[in-house]
Structure 1
Amino acid sequence: MKKLIIFLCIMLLVLQNFAVAETLDSGQIVGESAILIDELTGQVLFEKDPDKKMYPASTTKILTALIILENHALDEVVTIDDKSPFIDGKRIYVIKDEKLTVEQLLYATLVESANDAAYALAVYHSGSVEAFCEVMNQRAKQVGAVNSNFTNPNGLHDNDHYSTARDLALIAQNAMQNETLRQMVQTKSYTIPETEKQDERNYLRNTNAFLGAKSNNKMNYKGERISIEYDIVDGIKTGYTPEAGNCLVSSAKIGNQRFISVVLRSNGDNSLYVDSRTLLDYGFENFVRHTFVSDGAFIQTVQLEGAGNITVNLVAQDNLTMMLNKTIDLSQIERLVYIDSDIKAPIAENQILGKVTYNYNNIELASTPIISEYAVSGDSLLAESEFSLIKKDENDAVDMGYYMGILFKLLISFIIYRAIITTYNLRKRKKRLQL
């Protein structure tokens, strides 16, 4: 008995260790602010102060590039303005009146993280940086990044230029939907040929060590000294200023699953990449995408109140897809359907008539309204009422015997009625004659 108790205690400790392995504590992330989301749904899988106002540094350029790609062709020619050559920080040293394509400037912005290239694109798009920043802030709000304010297109420090880990994740999520941007941010190197102003080629190298631009980069990760290069990473943007610290927005994909991580102000010996890989690995090791129901999928058929045989099909309004922890037993997920009471015609197409929920251990995981698949008008009820007066036999033909029986009964009832009336009238006449 004593041995059994000892064995059970050991097993309990083992199980507890497994449970810890399935979670990620914010203390394991050096970065001051961080988040991990599912790229498809935007579902948050981990967060550490995700709404804290932070300086985004060059991760700002994700939004700049997205706006340019949404509004300009790659082969458009940009004539460099008189201010871009004098922008501080990392640059490709553009020259006033030099002509470069939108494509070349975008690669310089996203691969080399050139501040002058981002500035030139902003001026080309809006005429001034101030006007472009209005576009940036409007576009950010459109994707749900409501806690950000951008005052320049490149991320050079400004006290009023800020964002959050959550906002940057939302911006990156939308940016990675753009195929051209997705290709650019995973490019390791790019060459801008000579121009009429410069007779030397400009060789660009990606600042993201995850992409292996510097193959000798190493980091300590989970007790091992490994290369920072990570073959599942396909973007997206680094950033650094003294005020912002080390920043990185990452994207990684395995099969049909893609995660986006954001780490801000992670200062230390390669802690930026350790933090980012810790988040990405946590996503792939612990979560799997599950679709509960697709939009338009049949849920149930209901009969309309007081409408004879008239029914309406109910379907799911939304596609319900989310990341679930791999420890969840999918067979134990319970579907519950709630139908509105007294459903009556007329019913419009796509009218909400209830909801369907999916629960696990009595906890709701997801839900969506259920709607009518088609419209049901008042005329349909009238037609059904008229139709219901016609009785058909087993061969779906009008049951003449049924109606002959009714006619016979009516005839007998009429004969009896006439006999009673006649008898009554005869007695009444006889009584009158006796008087």
Structure 2
Amino acid sequence: MAAARPLRGREPQLSRLTELLRSAATGRGGALRLLGGMGTGKTALLAAAREAATGFRVLSAPGVRAEHRLSLGALHRLLQPVGGLPQGAPTTDFALCRDVHDLVVRLAHPRPVLCLADDAQWWDETSLAALAFAARRLAEVPVAVVLAARPEVGTTGGADPTGGIPAYRLAPLGPEAGERMLRDALGAGLPPAVRTSLVELAAGIPGDLVELAGALTAEQAAGRAPLPATLPLAGPQRTAYRRCLACLSPRARHLVLLAACEPRLRETVLAGCPGIDPAARDEALASGLVQAEGDAVRAVSPVLRATLRAEAEAAELRHAHATLAGALGERGGVRAAWHRAAATAERDAGLGDALRAAEIAVPGLTPQQNRIALLVAGGETNREIARRLVISHRTVDHHLRNIFAKLGVRSRVRLAALLARQDC
């Protein structure tokens, strides 16, 4: 299956889509689900399927959050090009499902049909159940159905309406696939260290990786300046994250910002944060902005952590830091000290005093470099650090280059990992 640009790391899914279309073209239809978070390549895979569906009638309908509770809204969009929903009001759910199945079967003559449902988590439940009913009954019909959704579909209560349809999860790209994607986008001239650092910042999320690469300055692309800490303000990925954050309930939003302020938010710490209940945790995880990892919750990628912080109001970030400082308590060491300092509205925020009180010092770094290293590890951008320490952005850049050189690291991610190993 061809695509405008190679979908690196998604070869197994492309192969399965090709197989599905070939089978449907010979009268043996079927369906599959593509499950992954924002930016993992679901929409790109659907576009590749559409491009490969030569000779097919293609029907598609992305989910629309505003119509999530509008019964039959998604089916109406899917079937509008062929006359809309079947005439007459079905008297039962089964009758509706049967009518949709029969309509799709009729449409498959004289040529096969491909149905694409993007962002299926925003399809209304009635539409999704009806399409899934049809999708499970295509063995002898020239119809292929592909649904793309976030992994949480069907997990927030009740049975999953798409259950029984084979599912393929889109994991983050590995280092090799991520670096190949960067070579496709920027050519072979990007230094290997820059490619590696970008993949680490994006944590293998293709959409984040592409936006980061597109935002590089010439100095950053050459490895002569620190890489951007956040996604570009007007990029589609950041816009999607912004909208998702804005739609969360206050408690779920607070939890997401707690994870944005604490690189690895342990469940034991989360349990000590007032106002965070199981419903807020489930909503935050379902948003795709954070994920569970062992005994902790964390933002999906380092660049998303910094981006979420940049999207938040200053007052709610201070509230998140204060909450974390209280939950960590006196035994929280440098993390508690840093959160206490970050919870104040004042510049510098007594950070130097807090670090000295916690007896924090990374060997080989000056006091100012210690402050900057810890702020970087805490997720702050260079501009945030400059404002906090009342120094210029260029001075932060200069210190950061020296910190990287002294500690033998090449990225903010590696610096944070090094400080974590030192219990900083």
What range is the shorter-chain TM-score in?
A: under 0.3
Q: TM-score normalized by structure 1? A: 0.25
Q: TM-score normalized by structure 2? A: 0.25
Higher helix share: 2
Higher-Rg member (1/2): 1
